[in-house]
Amino acid sequence: MTALAKQIAFYKRKTPKKVMASIPLPYFAPGSELPQPLPSHDEITSLAAQAKDDYSSRTTLRIGPFFIKYGQNVNLIEGQNMLFVRSHTAVLVPRVYAIYTDLKTNVNYIIMEYIDGNTLGFEWGLLSEKQKERIARQLRCYMDDLRAIPSPGYYGSIGRRGLLDGIFWTGDDGYPDISGPFENEGEFNDAMWKKYVYSSLPPAKADFYRDAFPVVLRDHGPSFTHGDFQRKNIMIRRIPLTQQERSPMDDQGSLDEETFVLTVIDWEFAGWYPSYWDFALALTACGRWGDDWHVWVRKILDPFLNEFVWMQMLRNELWS
């Protein structure tokens, strides 16, 4: 068994027959799962004060093997999503050790495993075609594993809550017909053109989207979705292979003397979206398409080219 296979086997969890509900909060992992005792809340706040962190936003801090995300704008659903994915798939995600809110300050905390390595975005230009192919195959397995999670029958976050993608965000106004959850794809589509109206954009174009979406965006069941599939959200760690682990064909090239462990991070926006969602956003995030990443996105995710064009147009207008 290769080093990569051992790593995946270590993380792998058997998929339950029934999808679990959201994890009750506050959450603290059993002591047996901790690499060392959790840092105390006083220790965290003391280090944050030294760094003069702004609790009103999202801030991160590392303490030994722990990576801490905190702030009033940190959504604890992210930690619940990671626990959910680890319990239902073999996708590598950071272990989550604690999820809680300081009720005195209304600051949210997610304490998770620190992931060593670089982002795939940093490493991409250093990889050979053969290495990219291996990485794409592994990411394809991850995405297929997410899609295999049984649908709960709605579009929304775990625990039948609203979605956190910016298209569905209305601040503190609280419009459930925009934020969700949604019982069907028609309600999901309606939320997007209603967000267009909410954002004070041209009513005539909103009417166009209202008429077009039922025609061009249909028959997409709810699939569990990462929601922000970009190279910056994939951590890569190089693992040297032993002589016994290398195949005979690998001996002639140094590029084949290592394999990779890929960990997917930043699960805040994850939830049940239409099946095209990850692909459409991943291509939109290619920006100016300055390299070949878009080619590999079409291998990692099932392509939804029509849906991508509509989502790109809508997002560009919402945030231009």
Q: Tell me which CATH code domain 116-320 carries.
A: 3.90.1200.10
Let me know how long the chain is. 320
* C-alpha span between 177 and 198 (Å, rounded): 11
34-82 pLDDT tens trace: 999 999 999 999 998 887 766 777 899 999 999 999 999 999 999 999 9
Cβ count within 10 A of residue 41: 13
Structure-token match 């995946």, residue found: 8
Torsion 241-246-252-255 (CA) sign:
negative
- What's the rounded Cα separation, in Å, for the pair 110 and 96? 7
For the segment 214-233, what is each residue's pLDDT rounded down to a tens digit?
Answer: 999 999 999 999 999 999 99
- Residues β-bridged to residue 27: 99
Q: What is the percent of the chain with per-residue pLDDT over 70, rounded to a whole number?
A: 88
Domain layout of the chain by residue ranges: 13-113, 116-320
Residue 21: per-residue pLDDT: 63
How far, in Å, CA of 237 to CA of 127, rounded?
Answer: 13
CA atoms of 197 and 179, how far apart (whole Å): 14
b/e per residue 169-201 (b: at least 16 CB within 10 A): ebeeeebeebbbbbeebeebbbbbbbbbbbeeb
What average pLDDT does range 141-153 have in this prediction?
97
Residue for token digits 């300081």? 102
Tell me the Cα Rg of the chain: 21
Provide the b/e sequence for 54-74 (b: ≥16 CB within 10 Å). Answer: ebeebbebeeeebbbbbbeeb
Q: Is the pLDDT of residue 122 over 50?
A: yes
Residue 236: strand, helix, or coil: strand
pLDDT of residue 2 exceeding 80, the answer is no
